[in-house]
């Protein structure tokens, strides 16, 4: 992308909120440079009312894309635009794709990125792990261990850098010797929010990736979190909600993941916990229930036929027996050995049948001879 | 059903295990009286090998249906046959309906029943609540409260009388002033199994219903539990698994419920608990996740359109705002009041827009005027 176009996008990001549909519409027919020039000149964008335009004009006066780029360099960060090598795949959806009550859900215009990894490569093999800020110790432990295991298999863990589940997910991923963890922020790269996670976010900026649609210095708002959530979903192949209240940002991320055709997964918890209510509602609504990394990988289609069946139970020797033989097995006692005749009466089968079956049962390690009679082995009794 | 036919069925129940397919086949073309006479005469049944028939002959010698009926009267119990007023609906499936490794899964021949309720009426509006014997306190509490709530709405709670989840389900139902609870036993009505539940089973016999396919005095075996599970499922409109290990009897009950077209539901729990593993596998396999009585009723189709939407969240006044108005709301501080101009810059909208929106926000109880400026109310900040 040209330097001129880059400057235009940084300028537009400074004066228009992310996800703006009127801006997206304008960029369908004109270059970013042309649109930025028009916006600077106070020309209206189709679909943007005069009042909204007034707000943009207020911001244009204070904007300076060159200074923003200088600030990014100071932050050891970069601006990534559509067409750049680092621009992730899958960020070109039509705004109508996204449903719900937030109407402005166009794809990002530019991404501000900090960290020693290629965002496109990280996003190409990634999963979002998100959840409640006020998470329980249970939820945090599940988020941490799940993210660790997933990162170890090479999946980048994408989350929102918040307290609770988000922080546990990032921390689990940072511990793994695997893929980078990606924090998608709702404000500028230099705005550590929440304040208490500043060291974690700094660590992610050094070892993982910090991503934002906002120019440096921009603070967070509730709406920006909601708009940010679509990017968390869009950057990944799927989203896992670990703990969430009934009405929560995690539900919004899950909704955007569904809108964008990403897999939606949720980790269950005690039904007595309000913080598992959101997960349970998602599962009732069609999200896949997941309890461990292997199940997340299975849902993402990232593992083949070999590993998946291992999730199922092992086969007990009992399951391989014919039914008559099993009935005889059932007639055998755990402690006091019994005779062949006693077995026949209890099982309701013939003496001959018992005599045929016993060697098979002994061979399978289920029955043993003791004191002239027969009884179950430890394996047979389980 | 004639007294002769009743005696024949009691006789057959004494010598053939429940669920026998060869016996079911024989009864498709001949009366129970004819089949019983044939069995007594040592005639082979189609599909029953000579060895199995030998086992039956062993038992025929010791059988006495009249004595069994006398015993039932002493136990204050009764034998219920197909065609009787009390015979429940839905017990006439074809054996092929039931899949899995237990091949002998024909419908019951006769039911031995004890308790002051009509089994047909109880089964017509019922749900099975089953789960692990080695249940956790969490599982037992969920089973107890769920069964209490369901019984209060008039649903009979059907379970297996075992320790753990089964016992908690029966106890919860007994506490409710609602429908009876039904324990389906894997041995005779007079065989209190497990021994430690003898008082609970006695209470169910007096206030609820004890049901068995086995004649008095018959003990339990592992196979009998598995065959019994199909009856637990068949007597109900659906089965709820509360806690279950990966390989367990509850999984078998759920499988039979699915085979018989009953609803299959499961209660989730911590993913760190092995006793929720079975529930989670069931949900991953298509069972409906349920967390409370209302969701069970919804799945059974027992409640209308009115109550179901109440399960969803309430609507916050914020959700009703236009997006521009919401953006202005986001720009307002929680504590220190700010001017209209400050709001306009932070929100990136025009002064006019802020002036139009503020009265609406105040009217919705989200914003208040304080010290000549504006800030969020407690509601607005949540």
pLDDT tens, A200-240? 999 999 999 999 999 999 999 999 999 999 999 999 999 99
pLDDT at A309 over 60: no
Q: What is the mean pLDDT of residues A26-40?
A: 95
pLDDT at A2 over 90: no
pLDDT at B120 over 70: yes
Domain ranges of chain B: 1-63, 75-311, 317-376
Main-chain dihedrals φ then ψ at residue A129, nearest 5 degrees? -120, 110
Report the alpha-carbon distance of residue B207 to residue B174 in Å, rounded.
Answer: 8
pLDDT at A244 over 80: yes
* Range B92-101 burial, b when 16+ CB lie within 10 A, else e: ebeeeebeee
A319: confidence class by pLDDT, cuts 50, 70, 90:
low
Report the alpha-carbon distance of residue B377 to residue B382 in Å, rounded.
Answer: 9
At B211-252, the pLDDT tens digits run 999 999 999 999 999 999 999 999 999 999 999 999 888 999
**A197 to A114, A144, A228: CA distances (angstroms):** 16, 16, 18
Q: What is the mean pLDDT of residues B271-295?
A: 97
Which of A16, A55, A352 best tests the B interface by mutation, with the highest count of B CBs <10 A?
A: A55
Structure tokens at A314: 């092992």
* DSSP E strand boundaries for chain A: 77-80, 111-114, 126-130, 156-159, 181-185, 209-212, 238-241, 263-266, 288-289, 367-370, 373-376
Q: What is the mean pLDDT of residues B143-166?
A: 97
CB pair distance less than 8 Å for A316 and B247? yes
Structure tokens at A319: 């399951």
> Any idea which residue has 């369908």 for tokens?
A28
Close Cβ partners of B152 (under 8 Å, ≥ 6 residues apart): B176, B177, B178
Report the alpha-carbon distance of residue A329 to residue A380 in Å, rounded.
Answer: 8
Q: What is the ipTM of this complex?
A: 0.76
pLDDT at A308 over 60: no
Q: At what angle do helices B198-207 and B165-175 cross, to 10 degrees?
A: 40
Residues 95-134 in B contacting A (C-alpha not used; CB under 8 Å)? 101-104
Report the alpha-carbon distance of residue B218 to residue B263 in Å, rounded.
Answer: 31
B280 CB neighbours in chain A (<8 A) are: 268, 289, 291
B50 CB neighbours in chain A (<8 A) are: 350
pLDDT at A307 over 50: no
Report the alpha-carbon distance of residue A348 to residue A350 in Å, rounded.
Answer: 7
- Tell whether B67 is within 8 A of chain A (Cβ): no
Considering the segment(s) B317-376 as one domain, its CATH architecture is Orthogonal Bundle (1.10)
pLDDT at B65 over 70: yes
Main-chain dihedrals φ then ψ at residue A64, nearest 5 degrees? -155, 90
- Tell whether B335 is within 8 A of chain A (Cβ): no
Report the alpha-carbon distance of residue A44 to residue A50 in Å, rounded.
Answer: 7
Helix (H, G, I), strand (E, B) or coil at A14: helix
| pLDDT at residue B3, rounded to an integer | 87
| pLDDT at residue B308, rounded to an integer | 33
- Distance (Å) from the alpha carbon of A294 to chain B's nearest alpha carbon: 13
pLDDT at A360 over 80: no
pLDDT at B51 over 90: no
Average pLDDT of chain A? 89
- Tell whether B221 is within 8 A of chain A (Cβ): yes
Instruction: Return the residue of B nearest to A136 by Cα.
Output: B270
Residues 285-304 in A contacting B (C-alpha not used; CB under 8 Å)? 288-289, 291-292, 295
Report the alpha-carbon distance of residue B232 to residue B168 in Å, rounded.
Answer: 16
- Distance (Å) from the alpha carbon of B136 to chain A's nearest alpha carbon: 12
Considering the segment(s) B75-311 as one domain, its CATH architecture is 3-Layer(aba) Sandwich (3.40)
Average pLDDT of chain B? 89
pLDDT at B316 over 70: no
| pLDDT at residue B306, rounded to an integer | 30
Out of A102-116, A188-202, B306-320, pick the least confident. B306-320
> A317-381 sits in which CATH class?
mainly alpha
A339: confidence class by pLDDT, cuts 50, 70, 90:
confident
| pLDDT at residue B304, rounded to an integer | 35
Instruction: Return the residue of A nearest to B105 by Cα.
Output: A323
Residues 11-50 in B contacting A (C-alpha not used; CB under 8 Å)? 15-17, 50
Instruction: Return the residue of B nearest to A17 by Cα.
Output: B348
């Amino acid at each position: 992308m040209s330097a001129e176009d880059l400057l235009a996008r940084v300028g537009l990001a400074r004066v228009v909120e992310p996800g703006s549909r009127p801006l997206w519409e304008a960029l369908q027919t004109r270059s970013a440079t042309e649109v930025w020039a028009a916006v600077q000149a106070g020309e209206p964008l189709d679909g943007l009312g005069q009042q909204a335009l007034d707000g943009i004009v207020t911001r244009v006066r204070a904007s300076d894309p060159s200074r923003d780029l200088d600030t990014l360099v100071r932050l050891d960060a970069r601006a990534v635009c559509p067409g750049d090598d680092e621009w992730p795949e899958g960020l070109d959806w039509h705004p109508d794709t996204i449903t719900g009550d937030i109407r402005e859900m166009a794809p990002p215009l530019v991404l501000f990125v900090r960290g020693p990894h290629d965002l496109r490569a990280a996003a190409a093999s990634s999963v979002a792990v998100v959840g409640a800020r006020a998470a329980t110790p249970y939820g945090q432990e599940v988020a941490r261990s799940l993210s660790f295991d997933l990162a170890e298999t090479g999946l980048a863990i994408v989350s929102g850098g918040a307290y609770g589940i988000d922080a546990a997910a990032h921390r689990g991923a940072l511990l793994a010797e695997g893929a980078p963890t990606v924090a998608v922020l709702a404000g500028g790269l230099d705005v550590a929010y929440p304040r208490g996670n500043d060291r974690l976010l700094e660590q992610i900026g050094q070892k993982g990736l910090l991503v934002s649609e906002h120019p440096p210095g921009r603070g967070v708002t509730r709406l920006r979190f909601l708009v940010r959530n679509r990017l968390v979903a869009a950057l990944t192949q799927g989203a896992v909600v670990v703990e969430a209240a009934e009405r929560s940002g995690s539900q919004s991320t899950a909704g955007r993941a569904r809108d964008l055709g990403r897999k939606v997964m949720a980790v269950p918890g005690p039904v007595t916990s309000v913080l598992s209510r959101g997960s349970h509602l998602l599962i009732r609504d069609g999200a896949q229930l997941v309890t461990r990394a292997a199940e997340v990988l299975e849902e993402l289609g990232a593992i083949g036929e070999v590993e998946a069946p291992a999730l199922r139970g092992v086969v007990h020797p009992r399951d391989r027996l014919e039914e008559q033989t099993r009935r005889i097995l059932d007639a055998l006692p755990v402690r006091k050995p019994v005779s062949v005749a006693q077995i026949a009466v209890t099982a309701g089968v013939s003496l001959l049948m018992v005599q045929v079956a016993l060697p098979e049962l002994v061979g399978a390690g289920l029955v043993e001879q003791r004191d002239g009679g027969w009884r179950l082995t430890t394996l047979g009794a389980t």
